[in-house]
Structure 1
Amino acid sequence: MGNILFYTHTKEDLKRTVKMVLEELSKTELINETSINPEDDRLTQQEAAKFLGISVTSLISWKKKKIVPYYQIGRAIFFSKKELLALARKNEFVRRSRY
C-alpha cells in the first residue's frame, strides 16, 4: 500500500489548525522566561483560578495551604503565570485540577 492522500481540507483549514495548536502550546510548553513580559506575567486571583481551571475559592484555599506561590502588595494579591505553569508541570495534583 502506498501513501494515501486526502484532499478534504483547504489551505485555510490547515492554517487555522496550525494556529490553534500553536496557541495551545504557547499556553504551556513553549512559554519560557524570556518570552513573558513581566506585566503580562501577573494574574489576579480570578485570572489565576481561570488559568488553572479551578474556582477562586479553591485557589484561595491552595494559597492558604501554600500550594501556590503568590505576591501581595497591600491588599492586592497577584500570581505569576510562569510560576503557576512550572507548578502545574511538576505537580500532578495541580495538573489534574486543571483538566
Structure 2
Amino acid sequence: MVAEIIAAMASRGRCGGAPAREDEPRREERAEQQAPAPQGPVLPPPPPVDYGVFMQGLVQAMQTHAHTQAALQAQLEAQICLDGAYEWCTAGKS
C-alpha cells in the first residue's frame, strides 16, 4: 500500500522535492485559500499584564489555600475525636 502511494507520487513528479507545475497552486497557497474566515466580531487584543500584581495575587491565593487546608484538617481531626476515635486522637500525643 505505502509502496503504491510512493510510486504514484513519483510518477506525478512530487517525490524527491520536485517542484509543482506552474498551473498548480502550491500547498501553502491552497491552505490559505481553504482557511475558514473568522466568524463573529474581531476582538481587540487583551490589555498588557502587570506580572508583579499577578504574582502578588497568586501568592495571596496560595497562602489562603494553605490556611484553608490547615483549618479544614484541624476541623476534621476534631470531628473524628468527637465521634469517638479516642485512640486515633491520642496516638503520638503525650
Same fold by TM (over 0.5)?
no
Q: TM-score, normalised by structure 1?
A: 0.27
Q: TM-score, normalised by structure 2?
A: 0.28
Which structure: larger Rg?
2
